[in-house]
Amino acid sequence: MEKGVWILGVFILTTSIFYIVISVMMKKRQVQKRIDRFFGTASSRQSEKAEVKKDPTLERISMAIAKIFKGVQFSKKTNALLLQAGSSMPPEQFLAYRLMSALSLSLLLFLLQQHWVLVVMGLVVGFLLPKLIMARRRKKRLQALPLQLIDALGMMANSMRAGFSFMQVMQLVGKEMPSPIGPEFQRAVRDAGLGVPLEKVFEDMVFSLPNKELEVALEAIIAQRRSGGNLAELLETMEDTIRGRVRIMGELNTLTSQGKLSSLVITMLPIGLGFYLYVVDPKYFGPLIHEPMGIAMLALAGFLVLLGWFAIQKILRIEV
């Protein structure tokens, strides 16, 4: 009993420390990424930073491992995840962090003399943990976008009525609005000033901030600039439309919150019960992790739990 509690405490402590370290490093890199977008690439800015300031031990190790994967073609999903999460970390360094996390967690379980199944599971969980953290950061960043877009459209409409030009309005939004929408408008103004077509500028903005409301607003602006009309009135109309859409989405989230909580409880209950049995009576739970039939039953149970979780999430996902 005491050994199981001690193992649980060590695991929670290690996971918490790793999460805190990754979160702090992500916040520091977010500022650097915004600078890179205006004055150069992330790799060049990171090299200059390395000359000025000594990197932490963890970062030096990750950069050393990242050199091994230099030149490797990573998937578009990985590049998009880092870009949309607001991270300046190159894909090869992100892979290095994932490998370090996987090896650290599996090594910890091995040193604690756990079963090889748990060691392998630790390897998988450790490899997925940085990606989950990055995906959570991306989700949190994109969740703030709709409300910022409403304020930005209102600011643009009022400025247009005051006599500002369209590019001056975009520049004003870039200066006054916070991240993530403010820096993206600043980058759009800079690219448009360099001669990039407005359609390509807006396409890059939607790729960096994938949001249905933003995509519809930008497409409406492009259509208006082609056909003509009152842009200030169009912006006000889109502001009211997006405000109503956000209100409906908030009501849907409230109505489906019970189902989301149920999916979490149903998914975690078998895992928590299995861990409780392992701690309280290891002999009773032992056949499930030592016998081939028990391992097969655990794998099947895990598959069914994940299948049920995805089914509930599919039911709760309502398109507006």
Q: Which position has the token pair 């994109």?
A: 142
Position 319 in a domain: no
Q: Are residues 97 and 163 in the same domain?
A: no
Q: Which of 107, 142, 177 is the last residue of a domain?
A: 142
Position 316 in a domain: no
- Angle, alpha carbons 310-315-320 (nearest 5°): 120
Position 155 in a domain: yes
The proportion of the chain whose per-residue pLDDT surpasses 70, expressed as a percent, equals 82
Total domains, the chain: 2
Position 274 in a domain: no
Q: Is the pLDDT of residue 49 over 90?
A: no
Q: Are residues 34 and 151 in the same domain?
A: no
49-54: average pLDDT: 38
Q: Does the pTM of the predicted model rise above 0.85?
A: no
Q: Are residues 100 and 227 in the same domain?
A: no
- Angle, alpha carbons 180-173-210 (nearest 5°): 35
Q: Are residues 75 and 56 in the same domain?
A: yes
3-class SS letters over the chain: CHHHHHHHHHHHHHHHHHHHHHHHHHHHHHHHHHHHHHHCCHHHHHHHHHHHCCCCHHHHHHHHHHHHHCCCCCCHHHHHHHHHCCCCCCHHHHHHHHHHHHHHHHHHHHHCCCCHHHHHHHHHHHHHHHHHHHHHHHHHHHHCHHHHHHHHHHHHHHHHHCCCCHHHHHHHHHHHCCCCHHHHHHHHHHHHHCCCCHHHHHHHHHHHCCCHHHHHHHHHHHHHHHHCCCHHHHHHHHHHHHHHHHHHHHHHHHHHHHHHHHHHHHHHHHHHHHHHHHHHCHHHHHHHHHCHHHHHHHHHHHHHHHHHHHHHHHHHCCCC
Q: Are residues 94 and 206 in the same domain?
A: no
Q: How far is CA 297 from CA 54, 123, 124, 180, 284, in A?
A: 50, 20, 19, 46, 15
Q: Are residues 137 and 5 in the same domain?
A: yes
> Which pLDDT score, from 0 to 100, does residue 8 have?
59
Q: Each residue of 138-189: pLDDT tens digit?
A: 999 998 899 999 999 999 999 999 999 989 999 999 999 998 899 899 999 9
> Which pLDDT score, from 0 to 100, does residue 225 have?
85
Q: Report CA Rg, the chain.
A: 24
Q: Which of 125, 142, 159 is the last residue of a domain?
A: 142
Q: Is the pLDDT of residue 42 over 90?
A: no
Position 236 in a domain: yes
Position 221 in a domain: yes
Residue 127 pLDDT level (bands cut at 50, 70, 90): very high
Q: Are residues 216 and 106 in the same domain?
A: no
Q: Are residues 128 and 17 in the same domain?
A: yes
> Which pLDDT score, from 0 to 100, does residue 24 have?
61
Q: Are 91 and 83 in contact (CB under 8 A)?
A: no
Position 275 in a domain: no
Q: Are residues 116 and 12 in the same domain?
A: yes
Closest of 93, 97, 96, 95 to residue 42, by C-alpha: 93
Q: Are residues 189 and 231 in the same domain?
A: yes
Q: Which two tokens stand for residue 191?
A: 């690219």
Q: Which of 142, 168, 185 is the last residue of a domain?
A: 142
Domain that holds residue 54: 1-142
Q: Which residues contact 63 (CB under 8 A, 6 or more apart)?
A: 50, 55, 93, 96
In CATH, what number is assigned to the domain containing residue 160? 1.20.81
Closest of 104, 99, 112 to residue 9, by C-alpha: 112
Residue 41 pLDDT level (bands cut at 50, 70, 90): very low
Q: Are residues 200 and 95 in the same domain?
A: no
> Residue 67 class from Cβ within 10 Å (0-12 exposed, 13-18 middle, 19+ buried)?
exposed
Position 171 in a domain: yes
For residue 108, give the amino acid letter. L
From CA 251, how far away is CA 257, in angstroms rounded? 10
Q: Are residues 51 and 129 in the same domain?
A: yes
199-209: average pLDDT: 92
Q: Is the pLDDT of residue 90 over 80?
A: yes
